[in-house]
Structure formats: structure tokens, C-alpha cells
């Protein structure tokens, strides 16, 4: 058994993408006990692949003379040797050594316990801090999806050869969660089908913003065909304006609630964001307004419509520009191809096109213009 801790310090959307690599690692290397250190544990809730297996407790045999030397009452130890052993292991006061066909457990230089080789020894957990995805720097040329970068990273760090089985993120809901009344019905008493819409943006990526006016036009064009539910975080540098004609859950969903909402939703629309990746996990429709910032092959999922302008402008003729719209640490990442206050690549994508892509998923009849 190889016990490892992976320190995942990304944004929630990136962590969601990472989940498929974790599943493939654990399925293909079942002797790995994987622990995840993350700011978003909700993403791994109910995930059977990162749940630590129940440890096989060794048959502990106390070494009376040495226990006595270390100050233990051997009579008390004899009646509860297993509990004392567990306590000392938990407090990291014992070290394990294999010799003479047995595992010996030492404290202060003395062998206090031993167990036979067939029993599971105590292993230290290897920690891999700040797992990255360096392959992003080759995203325009590698012809790889974002998710593949994590396989490259884990293979290099762990010395394994994980085969990628899917692009789709791997999320898990319990049967109890699936049976709960969804939040839309609970809050608004609405029991019909709905699409999620996340129209806001973060202050560290202002160039992702397609514009509140465009998203409002999409809602207006489909107001008698699609019930939109607006979601999004309203703290931590996130900017969202309420959209008329939607059921408003802005700032009312924690991460786990949002995961459950994507499970119940018919589809979603927004920018390249957390919602983009969550909908992919459930193989749900997602219409993503992307412009020219990120390569299609890097971000697109089979069930989504990725609306980009790659190849149509000089600034994203082959690869995405990867600009964010800021000057930070002396690096200029401002867009030089603006139309008013919006990047040209985003301005080129019209609300009518986005509404039509959503409508096509619904197999509506009639003109939406």
C-alpha cells in the first residue's frame, strides 16, 4: 500500500477537472491510498476513490521487558495492547522496522511491539505539494484537453503510467442527495425543467466577461421557452448583475449545492468557468461563450457548444491569447483588440447565436429572433 497526499491548490473549476485523473489513478493502481488536501473538499464528497480504506490492524504482540523499561505497567498493557499500540501510532511515537520476518515497532530505541509480516505495517504518507498542470504552456500545440495535463503531472510525480479513460470530470452524489428536493423547487416552488446561467466574471479575469446586456438578451429571446436559474458567487471578487426573467439564486448556493443543482438542471450557459466543468461531469448540455482566450481543444467537452473565435482574428489566429485584462507584477496582459470596453473576440459572438444554440438542445420549433 502506497499512501500519498496530493495538495491541490487550484480554483474550484480546475479541481473539478482534476477529479478524472484521480479516479483513473485509483482504479488502475488499487494499492494507492490517496488523500486530497484542498480548499474545496465538497468536490470530493462521497468520492469512493479518495476515501481511505479501512486499515487492517496488525495482531499486536507486546514485548514485556521493553515496555516495562519504558515505564508501562505490563499488566495493563496485556489487557489492552491493541488500544495502546493504536494510540502510539496515531501520535507518531512508533517507528516500524522489518527484521527477522516480523514488523517491529520502536519507541525511544526500544522494540515495544511486533507483528507478523502478513499484517499491514505502519506507513508514512508521502506528500506531493501543489500539484500543477504545466502542460498548459503547450496547450496550443499539444492537441490535448485540459484534463490530460493532470495525467502528465501525476505520471511524472508518482512514477506511474495512468491511462486516461475520459475527458469528463468525476463527481459523486449519494443516493440520499439525489433524492432531495432540488433547491429551485425548494426556494421557488418551481417543479419544471430549468437551465442554469452564470453570467458574471471574476476581477482577475475581466476579459472573460461577455457582458450583462448580452446575457439579458439571451434570457429575453428564450423567455417563453427556457426557465433560467441564475447562479454565481457574489463575494471574493466576483461580479454578477441580476438578470430579469430568471429565478435568482445569486450568492445562495455553496459549492455542494451548486454541484447538486448541475445534476438536476437540463443544461447550463456561461463563460469558461466552474459551471462549464460541472455540467460536463453529468454529461449535460453547456453553451459556453469563450471568445479567443482559450483553445477549443483545451476546454471543450463532447456535450457542450464552445463558442470561440479562434482562427478569425490575428490575436487568436492559432492559439488562444491567454490574456486576462490586467497589468500585474509588471506583466501587461491587456487586450489590444477592443471594441468599446469589450474584447473584439467576445463582441463578435451575438446573443441570437447563443440563444439559438440553447434552443437547438431543446428541439424547439419556430423562430427565436
In b/e form, how buried is each residue of 289-323, taking b as 16+ CB within 10 angstroms? bbbbbbbeebbbbeebbbbbbbeebebbeeebbbb
Environment class of residue 340 by beta-carbon count within 10 Å: exposed (0-12), middle (13-18) or buried (19+)? exposed
pLDDT value of position 51: 67
pLDDT tens for each residue of 44-93: 999 999 965 444 556 788 888 888 888 888 888 877 888 888 778 777 77
**Do 230 and 245 contact (CB within 8 A), yes or no?**
no
Residue of higher predicted confidence among 88 and 172: 172
Q: What's the whole-number average pLDDT of the chain? A: 89
pLDDT at 365: 53
* Bigger pLDDT: 232 vs 109: 232
Contacts of 245 (CB under 8 A, 6+ apart): 219, 220, 223, 228
**Among 124-133, 192-201, 202-211, whose mean pLDDT is lowest?**
124-133
CB 21 within 8 A of CB 8: no
In this prediction the pTM is 0.80
- Inform me whether the pLDDT recorded for 366 exceeds 60: no
Which residues lie below 8 Å from residue 331, measured CB to CB, with a gap of 6+? none
SS3 for 327-343, per residue?
Answer: EECCEECCCCCEECCEE
In 10 A of CB 140, how many CB atoms?
Answer: 17
Place of cell 442554469: 196
- 100 vs 301 pLDDT, higher one: 301
pLDDT above 80 for 211 = yes
Cα–Cα dist 363/357, whole Å: 10
Closest by Cα among 111, 116, 85, 89 to 100: 116
Residues 189, 258: contact at Cβ < 8 Å? no
Of residues 147 and 60, the one with the higher pLDDT is: 147
Average pLDDT over residues 21-36: 95
pLDDT in tens, 231-289: 999 888 899 999 999 999 999 999 999 999 999 999 999 999 999 999 999 999 999 99
Superfamily of domain 184-362: Glycogen Phosphorylase B; (3.40.50.2000)
Within the chain, which residue ranges are assigned CATH 3.40.50.2000?
Answer: 184-362
| pLDDT value of position 107 | 86
Are 21 and 170 in contact, with CB atoms under 8 Å apart? no
- When pLDDT is averaged across residues 219-226 and rounded to a whole number, the result is 96
% the chain with pLDDT above 70? 93
Phi, psi of 135 (to 5 degrees): -65, -10
Other beta carbons within 10 angstroms of residue 120's beta carbon come to: 12
Contacts of 90 (CB under 8 A, 6+ apart): none
Render pLDDT for 282-322 as a digit per residue (tens, 0 to 9): 999 999 999 999 999 999 999 999 999 999 999 999 889 99
CB 85 within 8 A of CB 107: no
- The Cα–Cα gap between 246 and 197 comes to 9
Residue 208's contacts (CB-CB under 8 Å, 6 or more residues apart) are: 201, 202, 271, 272, 273, 291, 293, 324
Closest CA to 150 of 160, 141, 290, 4: 160
In this predicted structure, the answer to whether residue 367 has a pLDDT above a threshold of 80 is no
Dihedral-angle region of residue 321 (phi above 0 means left; psi in -120 to 50 means alpha; beta otherwise): alpha
SS3 assignment, position 3 = strand
Question: How far is the C-alpha of 103 from the C-alpha of 59, rounded, in Å?
Answer: 11
**Reported confidence tier of residue 7, pLDDT bands at 50, 70, 90:** confident
Residue with the larger pLDDT of the pair 20 and 57: 20
pLDDT per residue over 117-143, tens digit each? Answer: 544 445 577 888 778 888 888 887 778
Percent of the chain with pLDDT over 90: 63
Residue 142 has a pLDDT of 77
What is the rounded (10 degree) CA torsion for 220, 223, 226, 229?
A: 70
Amino acid at each position: 500500500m502506497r499512501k500519498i497526499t496530493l495538495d491541490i491548490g487550484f480554483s474550484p473549476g480546475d479541481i473539478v477537472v482534476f477529479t478524472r485523473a484521480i479516479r483513473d489513478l485509483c482504479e488502475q493502481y488499487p494499492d494507492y491510498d490517496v488523500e486530497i488536501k484542498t480548499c474545496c473538499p465538497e468536490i470530493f464528497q462521497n468520492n469512493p476513490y479518495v476515501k481511505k480504506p479501512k486499515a487492517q490492524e496488525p495482531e499486536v504482540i507486546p514485548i514485556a521487558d521493553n515496555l516495562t523499561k519504558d515505564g508501562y505497567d505490563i499488566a495493563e498493557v496485556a489487557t489492552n495492547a491493541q488500544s495502546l499500540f493504536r494510540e502510539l501510532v496515531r501520535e507518531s511515537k512508533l517507528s516500524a522496522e522489518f527484521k527477522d520476518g516480523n514488523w517491529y515497532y520502536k519507541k525511544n530505541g526500544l522494540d515495544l511491539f511486533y507483528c507478523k509480516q502478513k499484517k499491514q505495517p505502519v506507513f508514512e504518507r508521502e506528500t506531493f505539494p501543489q500539484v500543477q498542470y504545466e502542460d498548459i504552456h503547450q496547450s496550443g500545440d499539444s492537441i490535448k484537453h485540459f484534463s490530460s495535463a493532470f495525467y502528465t503531472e501525476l505520471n511524472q510525480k508518482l512514477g506511474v503510467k495512468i491511462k486516461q479513460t475520459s475527458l469528463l470530470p468525476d463527481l459523486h452524489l449519494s443516493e440520499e442527495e439525489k433524492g432531495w428536493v432540488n433547491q429551485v423547487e425548494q426556494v421557488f416552488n418551481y417543479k419544471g425543467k430549468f437551465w442554469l446561467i452564470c453570467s458574471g466574471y471574476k476581477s482577475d479575469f475581466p476579459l472573460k466577461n461577455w457582458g450583462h446586456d448580452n446575457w439579458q438578451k439571451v434570457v429575453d429571446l428564450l423567455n417563453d421557452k427556457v426557465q433560467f436559474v441564475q447562479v454565481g458567487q457574489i463575494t471574493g471578487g466576483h461580479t454578477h448583475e441580476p438578470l430579469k426573467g430568471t429565478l435568482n439564486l445569486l450568492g445562495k448556493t455553496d459549492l455542494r449545492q451548486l454541484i447538486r443543482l448541475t445534476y438536476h438542471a437540463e443544461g447550463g450557459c456561461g463563460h469558461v468557468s466552474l459551471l462549464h466543468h460541472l455540467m460536463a461531469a453529468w454529461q449535460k448540455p453547456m453553451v459556453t461563450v469563450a471568445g479567443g482566450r482559450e483553445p477549443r481543444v483545451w476546454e471543450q467537452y463532447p456535450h457542450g457548444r464552445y463558442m470561440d473565435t479562434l482562427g478569425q482574428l490575428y490575436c487568436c489566429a492559432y492559439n488562444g491569447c491567454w490574456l486576462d485584462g490586467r497589468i500585474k507584477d509588471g506583466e501587461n496582459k491587456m487586450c489590444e483588440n477592443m471594441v468599446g470596453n469589450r474584447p473584439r473576440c467576445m463582441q463578435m459572438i451575438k446573443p441570437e447565436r447563443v440563444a439559438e444554440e440553447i434552443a437547438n438542445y431543446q428541439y424547439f420549433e419556430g423562430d427565436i429572433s
